[in-house]
Amino acid sequence: AQAQLFQTLKLEALGQLTGGVAHDFNNLLSVITSGIALLRTAEDPARREKLAEAMAQAARRGADLTRRLLTFARRQTLHPGPLELRGWLTEMRELLARTLRGDITIEIEMQPDLWPVLVDAGELELALLNLAVNARDAMPRGGRLRLRAQNASLSRAGSPDLVDGDYVRLCIADNGIGMTPDVLSRAFEPFFTTKEAGHGTGLGLAQVYGFVRQSGGAARVQSEPGRGTTVSLLLPRAPAEAVQAASRETPPQLPDT
Ligand code: ADP
């Protein structure tokens, strides 16, 4: 039987972040604390130097960790506005083609009367690039990246952590190596990566997840080892008032009296 892995993301990226980072931080602090204890009794200068270096290194890693955390946290301020995905995706195709290698084909499928969505366009672009980079890394021998956008009205059958209403579902699918159940279950954790040092930060999917949740949408991932991965984003439909307000260049002025 073919087991399909399916996961709805319920973890809140920041909650997960706290646990993992607190653990790493504690490890670094215990290197420093035990280093101090040993330093107090050590007499050999070479040994003292070694201890001091180990402690300095732990402190540097701690500083690096907080720097990355702050960069991650700073991203959380969003400026949502109405966005027409049709034109936006057409523009993104070029950017994607430059991000991907030539042996990866890009397919874009859009429903004709797609609703405008209410998102931070810059953050959505970052999310799509993060997903494209992951897809590229998952297809070392080439493959196909398929983007699909369609309107979706959620009623009570929808996901429990979503408000009923109108959304646009944007699916990003690759036919690459896929994820094992272990990797899938941790994929959204900030700083979780299976890539070699220097090749992954482990923040790609955490950004995607944090961004869509904060926008009032949802993200989920389906993946099957050897077959590929599909990330589905539900983006909230922009209310008509928001679209009208955005299309007005300047707000209406009352005549001076
Ligand atoms: P990074 O790409 O920096 O490792 P991400 O948060 O984007 O960080 O991804 C975390 C991990 O999830 C990756 O290291 C990889 O193991 C797995 N992953 C993400 N996207 C895909 C994909 N499209 N196909 C296979 N594995 C993936």
Q: Which residues contact 39 (CB under 8 A, 6 or more apart)?
A: 48, 51, 52, 55
More confident residue, 134 or 6: 134
More confident residue, 84 or 163: 84
Q: Which atom of ligand 1 is closest in space to residue 174's alpha carbon?
A: 23
* CB contact at 8 A, 109 and 145: no
The dihedral over CA atoms of 62, 65, 71, 76, expressed in degrees to the nearest 10, equals -110
Confirm or reject: Cβ of 92 under 6 Å from ligand 1.
no
Distance between Cα 131 and ligand 1 center (Å): 8
Confirm or reject: Cβ of 206 under 6 Å from ligand 1.
yes
pLDDT band, very low/low/confident/very high, at 11 (cuts 50, 70, 90):
very low
Rounded to a whole number, what is the largest CA-CA distance in the chain?
A: 87
More confident residue, 21 or 95: 95
Q: Which residues contact 149 (CB under 8 A, 6 or more apart)?
A: 85, 86, 89, 109, 110, 111, 114, 168, 169, 170, 171
> Which tens digit of pLDDT belongs to each residue from 147-168?
999 999 988 655 666 788 999 9
What's the CA angle centered on 123, arms 121 and 124, to 5 degrees?
65
More confident residue, 165 or 255: 165
Q: Which residues contact 12 (CB under 8 A, 6 or more apart)?
A: 213
Quote the mean pLDDT of the chain: 85
Radius of gyration of the chain (CA): 23
What gap in Å lies between CA 216 and CA 153, rounded to an integer? Answer: 14
Best mutation site among 126, 129, 205, 233 for ligand 1 pocket (most ligand atoms within 8 Å of CB): 205
Distance between Cα 193 and ligand 1 center (Å): 6
ipTM field? 0.98
Q: Which atom of ligand 1 is closest in space to residue 202's alpha carbon?
A: 8
Give the model's pLDDT for residue 202.
Answer: 84
The identity of residue 3, as a single letter, is A
Confirm or reject: Cβ of 202 under 6 Å from ligand 1.
yes
Per-position b or e across 8-42, b if 16+ CB within 10 A of its CB: ebebebeebbeeebeeeeeebeebeeebeeeeeeb
Distance between Cα 226 and ligand 1 center (Å): 14
Best mutation site among 193, 199, 227 for ligand 1 pocket (most ligand atoms within 8 Å of CB): 193
Confirm or reject: Cβ of 228 under 6 Å from ligand 1.
no
Lowest mean pLDDT among 83-97, 130-144, 152-166, 212-226: 152-166
The structure's pTM equals 0.75
Confirm or reject: Cβ of 219 under 6 Å from ligand 1.
no
Residue for token pair 């209403």: 165
Confirm or reject: Cβ of 35 under 6 Å from ligand 1.
no
Confirm or reject: Cβ of 224 under 6 Å from ligand 1.
no
More confident residue, 138 or 76: 138
> Which tens digit of pLDDT belongs to each residue from 52-78?
999 999 998 888 777 777 766 665 678
Q: Is the dihedral of CA 87, 123, 245, 148 positive or negative?
A: positive
Beta strands in 69-210 (DSSP E): 81-83, 104-110, 117-119, 143-154, 165-174
According to DSSP, residue 243 is labeled H
Q: Which residues contact 153 (CB under 8 A, 6 or more apart)?
A: 165, 166, 167
> Which tens digit of pLDDT belongs to each residue from 175-204?
999 999 999 988 888 788 999 877 887 888
What gap in Å lies between CA 213 and CA 235, rounded to an integer? Answer: 9
